[in-house]
Amino acid sequence: MPSQQIELNSVGAFPKLFLDYISKNENLTKFYNQYPDLQGFSKVIESRKFSDDKRSTLVSVLKKQYQGLENTPDFDALLQANTFTVTTGHQLNIFTGPLYVIYKIVTIINLAKKLKAEFPAYNFVPVYWMASEDHDFAEIASFNLFGKTYKWETEQKGAVGRMNPAELQTIFDELSEKPALFEEAYLKNPTLSAAVRQYMHQLFCSEGLICLDADDVALKGIFSDIIKDDLLQNSANKIVSETSEELNKMGYHTQITPREINFFYLENGLRERIVFEEGQFKVLNSELVFSQDEILQILKEHPERFSPNVVLRPLYQETILPNLAYIGGPSEVPYWLQLKGIFDHYGEQFPLLMPRNFALVVNQANKKRIDKLGITTEELFADEVALRRSFVERNSENSLSLAFEIDDVSEVFERILKKSLVIDQTMKGAVEAEKAKIITSLENLEKRIKKAEERNQETAVTQLLGLKQKLFPDGGLQERKENFLNFYLNDKEFINKLLEAFDPIDYSFNIIEI
């Protein structure tokens, strides 16, 4: 399976902060711990500390969550001091959501293997952090399959991981080909979290993947001191605000905004922000109001009712996992760079930040179209206007540019200007105005010539733009729009091919031909 790479900064789809981080911009070194290369891993392995009590709690929770599934991972390996995790996370999009979710998981699996080969005295476990506490249902409720969008309609509220996925039966009724692993997972499990765990386990259990649902009382108990501090001292708000201001002054756009209290109140059907107003703790969009003593008593008895927002979720993750690295996309890595100060404040080691693998998958039919048009796959990353222009110019039998003619006109007017200034110094403006008019006319003529040639090549241009739309749906990256079932249903080896193609520490964009 051929695979090519292009530089990430050539893709034209990633934010500056992300690209500068990957290129080791020295101005950013204070915002992270170690750079994500093998040398960086060597350093964090030596310094990462994680208590036996935390390991025991984690293993106990995982064993409970995996009850009923076959071929479960060896969780007891996590009890050993020489075992670490590498983690990625994502929302529980139905049917896995965009293709890049699968890329994230393949990246951490390959990373765990690579680290084991480099550091054989240690064990490395790939962990998928299920964003089960997220309540933005609209972001997970649809997926695209073979050009059609399917959407989950529900009246359920609160954390999506606690929702019952039985309503997805209506989507299965619409599908001409019903993928059995999803049908069984969604229709035989009481919660979305359990369903996602089941199908991810079925897809990746042979690769040692562990899926963790951190919506758990025992895990939240480990985090309770930090929850209390945020409720009473609002430490994260000040720290992250200062970091964000510093990054903004450097010309970067920051992604997340801290709040005074960075927790939601979580119960079945409810996940709403906690605010402190008029001397009381209030849960927005509800009737819930607590005194300080009352909310601290709830924290003591029910820590699972406190759900971190995007500012403190990363810290929660690193507090309950023996983690070395977080693997994220071009939006995630930048917002983690806003958070190192929180880790320093609470004495938690900041993980290595790694970009996930990126890819464009080109099947044989599209590869034939590329070859027939006489272009390279890399050229398709250009915007539509630039792509069309370069294609027409390259395939024309005639010269479409009037650049030489415009240069000739400029030279003529330079001579005219010299003659005019000898006679009258005020002639400069008039001469330059006439020159500008003629050059503008020539530029307009050039555009008309190119448009005429484009019409002559209309059939090929239409094929080119059709190919661009297939590989870059709606002008965006394939991995953000397409669902992996578009490939998996036709090729059950698709995941294995990704595992073979991706190098987790090669920070390039992959073009994969299958």
Return the pLDDT at 444: 78
Q: What is the rounded distance in angstroms from the CA atom of residue 107 to the CA atom of residue 327?
A: 8
164 Cβ contact list (under 8 Å, min separation 6) = 156, 190, 191, 192
Tokens, residue 455: 């019409």
Find out whether 47 and 8 touch, Cβ atoms under 8 Å. no
- How many domains, in total, are found in the chain? 1
Residue 435 is assigned to a structural domain of this protein: yes
Residue 497 is assigned to a structural domain of this protein: no
Residue 454 is assigned to a structural domain of this protein: yes
Nearest to 208 by CA among 128, 97, 99: 128
Asked whether the predicted pLDDT for residue 363 surpasses 70, the reply is yes
Section 11-18 average pLDDT: 95
What is the percent of the chain where pLDDT is above 90? Answer: 80
Return the pLDDT at 433: 86
- pLDDT higher at 430 or 142: 142
Residue 156 is assigned to a structural domain of this protein: no
Return the pLDDT at 447: 73
pLDDT tens digits along 467-485 = 999 999 999 999 999 999 9
Model-level pTM? 0.89
Helical H runs in 74-122?
99-118
Q: What is the rounded distance in angstroms from the CA atom of residue 123 to the CA atom of residue 84?
A: 6
Residue 471 is assigned to a structural domain of this protein: yes
State the residue range of the domain holding 442.
365-476
Residue 302 is assigned to a structural domain of this protein: no
Residue 52 is assigned to a structural domain of this protein: no
Tokens, residue 45: 């392995």
Q: What is the mean pLDDT of the chain?
A: 92
Find out whether 284 and 295 touch, Cβ atoms under 8 Å. no
Tokens, residue 53: 């009590």
Residue 406 is assigned to a structural domain of this protein: yes
Name the pLDDT band for 426 (thresholds 50, 70, 90).
confident
